[in-house]
Amino acid sequence: TRMMARVLRSSLTKSQPVGLTGNSNCTSHENTKSQVQDISLCVGNTMLTPNKLSKHLQSSSYIAPAKKLARRCVQIKYEEEPKIDRLSSNQNGIHSDTHPQAINRNSNDEYNHCAGTKKLKMEDEEKALQSRWEPPHWQEVLKNIRQMRAARDAPVDSMGAQKCTDVDAQPEIYRFQVLVSLMLSSQTKDQVTHAAMAKLRAHGLTVDNILATDPDTLGQLIHPVGFWKKKVVYIKKTCEILRKYYGGDIPPTLKDMCKLPGVGPKMAHLCMDIGWGKLTGIGVDTHVHRISNRLGWTGRDTKTPEETRIALESWMPEEIWSDTNLLMVGFGQQICLPVGPKCSQCLNATLCPFGINPLSKSPKINSPLKLPVTGKAC
């Protein structure tokens, strides 16, 4: 019966006429076999007996449809995923929630190596971009400043720290005088500093002589420099350090120079340059700080002279560091004044963001980046 059913299904698929002949009533299990022997199956014009039926089923024309109708049992094998420790994966920068695939140690190493290389490459590119940045037209601006300072007749040219010393003194005494003149120059005009240094040299400006001078006398000698009372204490303590640790000379390194009381980065860089002839950085005072921000040479607004120094040294050629302080201080004393700058006399009026701005003459404005850019240029 199963074979006949298969033939019936295949014949129906091929639209062939199928018929049954003989006695097909099976009343019990015992006589089923004998009754099947009497059944004939008519497929198309062919009469098939059970014996011929078995041979007929072996033909490809009837087996093929049967195979098509048979269900195929497909066994799917799943490869077991290796267990990955969540903690170690997170440490490697791979989260199991976002990476459900099986990841072995080699792939982790390759991923970390590629990610690290990409990060380093991005950092290098960022540093390269920062190192390549420089203010627009800065060479032309600097050339104009040098032209305006060609006469060298500013107060700093005749009364600056380099003009307050005894050039004929012994080298260690000369260096000590440079240090003292820089300590006095803080928050003090060059004219006042120069006058105080003249009185000190007449008194005897050496480490031993200053240590032998009482504080009141020393105060009278340096008055009226800014914060003269504090500077008396600073100078006395500095002399004690110089005699104890440096044999009466000044420190030979920038780091030790900055450790002296009352000595900041600006003084230390200038003292290393003037006293020792060692270029360690740009000396940035209030003039250099103000002018650099007005010109846009810092890239962004800087709040302190030390920030300005770092910004300038990031792009400015080292061969012009030494002349920068003297050049820009004199320019700030004569033209680019703190209050009421003389923009109409400046050769950089059309190149300077501060000079182009109509509010640049306001004494309350210090940064060109904080000003509106509406109105006519001055």
Q: Which of 208, 220, 207 is nearest to 251 (CA)?
A: 207
Please give the domain boundaries of the chain with CATH numbers for all domains: 2-69 (no CATH), 138-151+284-370 (1.10.1670.10), 167-276 (1.10.340.30)
Question: What SS3 state is found at 160?
Answer: coil
Query: Out of 112-116, 291-295, 344-348, which region has the weakest mean confidence (pLDDT)?
Result: 112-116
Is the overall model pTM greater than 0.75, yes or no?
Answer: no
Predicted pLDDT of residue 165: 95
pLDDT-based confidence at residue 105 (cuts at 50, 70, 90): very low
Is 229 one of the annotated active-site residues of the chain?
no
Residue type, 201: R
Q: What is the mean pLDDT of residues 203-225?
A: 97
Instruction: Give Cβ neighbours of residue 126 (< 8 Å, ≥ 6 apart).
Output: none
Active-site choice (33, 266, 361, 370): 266
Identify the weakest region by mean pLDDT among 7-11, 72-76, 88-92: 88-92
Res 29 pLDDT > 50: no
pLDDT 10s digits, 279-288:
999 999 999 9
CB atoms within 10 A of CB 200: 23
Percent above pLDDT 90 for the chain: 58
Summarize pLDDT for 41-87 with one digit per residue, the tens.
555 555 656 566 556 555 544 444 444 445 555 555 555 555 544 44
Lowest mean pLDDT among 100-109, 261-270, 292-301: 100-109
| pLDDT for residue 368 is more than 50 | no
Q: pLDDT of 190-200, one tens digit each?
A: 999 999 999 99
Mean pLDDT of the chain: 78
Distance CA 299, CA 96 (A): 43
Nearest partner of 311 among 322, 327, 295, 326, judged by Cα = 295
Mean pLDDT in residue range 148-170 = 95
240, amino acid identity: E
The 3-state DSSP composition of the chain as helix, strand, coil percent (nearest 5) reads 55, 5, 40
